[in-house]
Amino acid sequence: MINKNFIIENTKTLFYALIIAIIIRSLLIQPFYIPSSSMEPNLLVGDRIFVTKYSYGYSKHSFPFSPPLFKERILDNEPKRGDVIVFKTPADNRTDYIKRLIGLPGDTIKFIDSNLYVNNSEIIKTKISETDEIFCGSQKINVITFQEQLSNNKSYNSVYLKDFPFQNSDTFKVPKDHFFFLGDNRDCSKDSRFLSSVGYVHKNNLVGKAQFIFFSSDRSKGSILAIWKWNKSLRLNRFFKRIN
C-alpha cells in the first residue's frame, strides 16, 4: 500500500522543482535549439545554445507564453551592435528567431552592390575563402566566406552566394525603440530586410543574448538516441563553444 504522506511529499518536491525551473528559465538562462541554417557558418542546425535572459532586461516575452505582466521592458539594457539575439518575430509575437543585430534605433541600413552600409559607411568585409560549402535548408550551397567588422570593432564570419543575388536594397531607417537584424547566411535568411514577415523588431520582443553552444549533433548522421552512431553524429568540437 502506498503511503499517503509519500505521495504528498513527492508532489510538493515536483512542484517546487517546477517553480525553480520556471524562475531559472524566465530570469536567468534558457536553452534553445537551432532549427535552420540562416546563421551558418556560426550556428548550425542541431546546435543547442544557452541564452541569457537578463542581458537586456525583461519583458512579457521573457516568460513562458508571454503573459501580459507589464507593457515595457524593466531593467532595460541596450544591446550592442553585432550581438546574436533571440527575439519574438513581430509577425506573430510568438515565434522565436535568432539573428545578428546590425542596426540600432535611428540607424540607416542599405545594400549597394551586395555591400552592407550602416549610416552611409560601408561595413568592411575581408574575404576568407571562396570554396566553402554550407546548407540552405536541406540543400548544400557553395559560398564565399568573409569576415565582417562593424563600427564597434565587433567581427564575425558571414557568407554570400558566389553570384551575390541580393545586390541592392531600399534604405532601411530603423525606428525608435526598434532594431534591425540580419542572418550571417546572407542569401538564405528571412530577416529584417523582409518587412512583411520580420522587419524592424521592437525592444520588447527581445528574449535574450545567445552566449554559447552547450551541445551539437548532426541529425543527418543519426538520431541522438542512436548511441552507437554518436561517433558520427555528435559535433564534439562545438560543445561549450562561445557564440561570437
Q: What are the distances in angstroms from CA 4 to CA 1, 10, 159?
A: 9, 10, 61
15 — pLDDT class (breaks 50, 70, 90): confident
Rounded mean pLDDT, 22-43: 90
Q: First vs last Cα of the chain: how many Å apart? A: 56
Catalytic residue among 88, 99, 125, 209: 99
Residue 224 has pLDDT above 80, yes or no: no
What pLDDT is stored for residue 138 in this prediction?
A: 86
What pLDDT is stored for residue 2 in this prediction?
A: 54
Q: Is 222 left (phi over 0), alpha (psi -120 to 50) or beta?
A: left
Stronger pLDDT, 220 or 158, i.e. the higher one? 158
Strand 201-202 with 178-182, pairing: antiparallel
- Exposed, middle or buried: residue 143 (CB in 10 Å: 0-12, 13-18, 19+)? buried
Domain that residue 218 falls in? 4-242
CATH number, domain containing residue 172? 2.10.109.10
- How many Cβ atoms sit within 10 Å of the Cβ of residue 58? 21
Alpha-carbon gap, residue 33 to 39, rounded angstroms: 12
- Please count the structural domains in the chain: 1
Active site residue 38: yes
Residue 102 has pLDDT above 90, yes or no: yes
What pLDDT is stored for residue 39 in this prediction?
A: 98
Active site residue 99: yes
Percent helix, strand and coil across the chain, each rounded to 5?
A: 20, 40, 45
Residue 157 has pLDDT above 90, yes or no: yes
Stronger pLDDT, 27 or 161, i.e. the higher one? 161
What pLDDT is stored for residue 23 in this prediction?
A: 78
For 116, what's the count of Cα atoms within 13 Å in the CB-facing half-sphere? 25
Q: Which three cell numbers stand for residue 237?
A: 568540437
Catalytic residue among 38, 62, 158, 192: 38
6 — pLDDT class (breaks 50, 70, 90): low
Residue 165 has pLDDT above 70, yes or no: yes
Alpha-carbon gap, residue 181 to 134, rounded angstroms: 21
Residue 131 has pLDDT above 70, yes or no: yes
